[in-house]
Amino acid sequence: MNGAQALIGSLTGAGVDVCFMNPGTSEMHFVAALDAVPEMRGVLALFEGVATGAADGYARIAGKPAAVLLHLGPGLANGLANLHNARRAGTPVVVIVGAHATGHVRYDAPLQSDIEALARTVSGWVHTSGHQRDLAQDAMRAVAAAQAGQIATLILPADVSWTEGAAVAPPRPAPPPSAPAASQLSAIGQLVTGGPATMLFLGGRALTERGLRAASRISAATGTRLLAETFPARLERGAGLPSVDRLAYLAESAETQLAGTENLVLAGARSPVSFFAYPGRASDLVPAGCAVTTLAGRDQDVEAALEELADLVAAGTEPVLAGPALLPAEPGPLNAVNLANTIAASLPEGVIIADEANTSGFALPMALAGAPRHSVLTLTGGSIGQGMPAATGAAVAAPDRPVLSLEADGSALYTIQALWTQAREQLNVTTVLINNAAYAILRMELARTAAGGEGGGKAGERAGRMLDLSGPTPDFTQISDGLGVPASRVTTAEELDKALRVAYSEPGPHLIEAIVPSIAPPPDAGAW
């Protein structure tokens, strides 16, 4: 068999049996090998950022990596932004980048560039395979590296792919998470008994059902406050689970949430910092004088650590679970609040929500706290254009779960091509495209610039035009129909409710364009 066949056969043997791809000429032997190894499911994306974002969403739901196939340096470059988000999520991804044949590199042909340099900016593991004999082993090292919660990039020269004499390699065992030090446990046990001056800051796998239940027991028994990171890779939520607020995006709101904390205990989360710097404001959100202690890092078994801590300080107790509760959705023209409450009212049990609603989504966390149980995937790395690809990948990972893609107009237009893949694969994704005809978050930031009195002064007309998506306002129903996803437009809560119920009841993808006026979220608006 040739290199490509051995590579794909080894990947599927290791459980990596989905490949999101946007191939080119140098990948043609990989593509051809899909017929020799039918266990591999190839999913075509029309833009590389869709493929990489889909791999991120897939792994967050499937709990195992997908492969991505990209075309030389420029193909990798187009996929980097969503690999950045995946890196910040700690998502395992196996990236395969086709390259020129080893003997062709010296000619500096038009598509030649430094693929390794690009790959290293997002990857924990990078290797250029040098020989078809070693390729399958290289791939198994890549899978094992990815399973540690990082991006592993395998660069595949065309001749290594096309040459005969390769063989399938067996999978390597996945690396186990390292255990937290037992000696910390009793010290942290002391801290959490201090009551509300201690805060348990949850991230990563602390936000699974297991992690949340243990954290809730600790909080209920000791008075320790709980807070989740702003943008979790995956958060389990809804009725029947403990409800934990997320740290606000805006630094001033976050400071309010963290005020009075004397001991911050990190459980799978990094110490909180502001998303951006602003003139005269601190980047570090930890209150002055507050001590920071780590219960478990992202590479450690945080679920087990939380359970051990719960057994230490809250033996025999039960977690506090959110009951089913829906906030009334005011009828009439849509706004950010009745939009959120309407979404909650029709939410199917077990839905996966890919949340890239940005400013338009500020009322969602409150609305969804008592909705049927769901998983939330968020924009971990801040690079917009992640939501629709992630929803696509999540739907591939869980064909039996509905996927709700909450998307903002500005973000949607980075990777709108995801709709085509949803149509091609007939994925059960319902997109609510919230159209406010603006980069609303930047309008808010520009206003903050002006209000701060530093430099910019009052925001002017020419600046405002750079953040305005009207003139022309994109028509997402036309764009969606054009990409093969049936679409409708709604302007009221009643229309949205009806359109959502239709979309959930029919197989395949749907898009609902929700026209919502642009407003700034209130300062106390949860994650925003």
Report 95-154 residues binding its own copies (CB under 8 A).
Answer: 100-101, 103-104, 107-111, 113-114, 117-118, 120-122
DSSP 513: E
Per CB under 8 A, the list member of 304, 467, 502, 520 interacting with its own copies is: 467
Among 59, 80, 390, 496, binds its own copies (CB under 8 A): 80
Outline where DSSP puts E strands in 436-493.
487-490
Min. distance of Cβ 98 from its own copies in angstroms?
10
| Whole-Å CA distances, 424 to 45, 228, 300, 366 | 9, 36, 39, 34
CB of 431 vs its own copies, minimal distance in Å: 14
Binding mask 43-62 for its own copies (x = CB under 8 A): -x-xx-x-------------
Cβ neighbours around 24 below 10 Å, total: 15
For its own copies, the binding residues in 244-303 under the rule CB under 8 A are: 270, 273-277, 279, 283-284
Closest separation in Å from C-beta 430 to its own copies: 18
Among 164, 318, 330, 524, binds its own copies (CB under 8 A): 164
Q: Which of residues 471-510 bind its own copies (CB under 8 A)?
A: 471-484
Site for its own copies contains 73 (CB under 8 A): yes
Strand ranges across the sheet with 429-435? 235-237, 374-378, 351-356, 403-408, 429-435, 510-515, 487-490
Q: What string marks each residue from 407 to 426 as x (binds its own copies by CB under 8 A) or -? A: ---x--xx-xx--x--xx--
Shortest approach of its own copies to residue 215 CB, angstroms? Answer: 22
At 526, list the tokens. Answer: 């949860």
Cα dihedral 137/142/148/152 (nearest 10):
170
195 sits near its own copies (criterion: CB under 8 A) = no
To the nearest 10°, report the CA torsion of 432, 436, 442, 446.
-160
Q: Is 441 in the site for its own copies (CB under 8 A)?
A: yes
Q: Which is nearer to its own copies, 87 or 127 (CB)?
A: 87
Given the rule CB under 8 A, which of 301-309, 317-325, 346-354, 406-414 is the region that contacts its own copies? 406-414
Taking alpha carbons only, the member of 23, 82, 81 closest to residue 56 is 82
Contact call for residue 84 and its own copies (CB under 8 A): yes
Give the CA dihedral 208, 209, 212, 216, nearest 10 degrees.
180
Please pick, from the candidates 312, 321, 459, 520, the single residue that binds its own copies as defined by CB under 8 A: 459
In angstroms, the CA 68 to CA 48 distance is 9
How deeply is 230 buried, as exposed, middle or buried, from its count of CB atoms within 10 A (0-12, 13-18, 19+)?
buried
Site for its own copies in 304-363 (CB under 8 A): none
Number of residues that bind its own copies (CB under 8 A): 111
Q: How far apart are CA 450 and CA 463, in angstroms?
A: 11
